Amino acid sequence: MSRVLVPCHVKSTVALQVGDMRTSQGRPGVLVVDVTFPNIAPFELQEIMFKNYYTAFLSIRVRQQSSMHTAAKWVTCLRDYCLMPDPHSEEGAQDYVSLFKHQMLCDMNRVLELRLILRQPSPLWLSFTVEELQIYQQGPKSPSLAFPKWLSHPVSNEQPAPRLEGLPDPSRVSSEVQQMWALTEMIRASHTSTRIGRFDVDGCYDLNLLSYT
Partner 1 sequence: MLQEESDLSLIIAQIVQKLKGSNLYAQLERQAWSCLQRPEIRLESLKEDIKEFFKISGWEKKLQNAVYSELNVFPLPSHPSAPPEHLKEPLVYMRKAQGSWEKRILKSLNSMCTELSIPLARKRPAMEQKELLNKWNEMGTDEPDLSLFRPVYAPKDFLEVLINLRNPNYENGDSLSFRTHLGLIQVPLKVKDIPELKECFVELGLNTGQLGIDDSTQVPPELFENEHVRIGQKVLAQQDSAAAQQYIRQGSPTALRAELWALILNISSQPEDILYYEQLKTNVIQHDLLVDSLIYKDVKLTASNDDYYFVFEDYLYQVLLCFSRDTSVLGHFAYNSASPPKSYIRGKLGLEEYAVFYPPNGVIPFHGFSMYVAPLCFLYHEPYKLYQIFREMYVRFFFRLHSISSHPSGIVSLCLLFETLLQTYLPQLFYHLREIGAQPLRISFKWMVRAFSGYLATDQLLLLWDRILGYNSLEILAVLAAAVFAFRAVNLMEVTSLAAAEAVLADLSTLKVMPLLQIFLFATVT
Can you give the binding site for partner 1, defined by CB under 8 A? 49, 53-54, 83, 85-86, 88-98, 100, 103, 123-127, 132, 168-169, 172-173, 176, 180, 190, 192-195, 197-201, 204-213
Among residues 37 and 125, whose Cβ is nearest to partner 1? 125
Distance CA 46, CA 152 (A): 29
Among residues 151 and 207, whose Cβ is nearest to partner 1? 207
Measured from the CB of residue 31, what is the shortest distance to partner 1 in angstroms? 14
- Tell me the CB-side half-sphere exposure of residue 111, using CA atoms within 13 A: 31
Measured from the CB of residue 61, what is the shortest distance to partner 1 in angstroms? 21
Measured from the CB of residue 72, what is the shortest distance to partner 1 in angstroms? 30
Whether the CB-CB separation of 85 and 97 falls below 8 Å is answered with no
- Residues 6 or more apart whose CB falls under 8 angstroms from that of 57 comprise 80, 81, 82, 83, 118, 119, 120, 121
Measured from the CB of residue 196, what is the shortest distance to partner 1 in angstroms? 8
Among residues 27 and 73, whose Cβ is nearest to partner 1? 27
Q: What's the sign of the alpha-carbon dihedral 186, 189, 193, 195?
A: positive
Phi and psi angles of residue 169, each rounded to the nearest 5 degrees, phi first = -65, 120
Measured from the CB of residue 70, what is the shortest distance to partner 1 in angstroms? 34
Among residues 142 and 193, whose Cβ is nearest to partner 1? 193
Among residues 66 and 154, whose Cβ is nearest to partner 1? 154
Query: What's the start-to-end Cα distance of the chain, in Å?
Result: 39
Distance CA 26, CA 184 (A): 63
Measured from the CB of residue 123, what is the shortest distance to partner 1 in angstroms? 6
Among residues 161 and 209, whose Cβ is nearest to partner 1? 209
Distance CA 119, CA 58 (A): 6
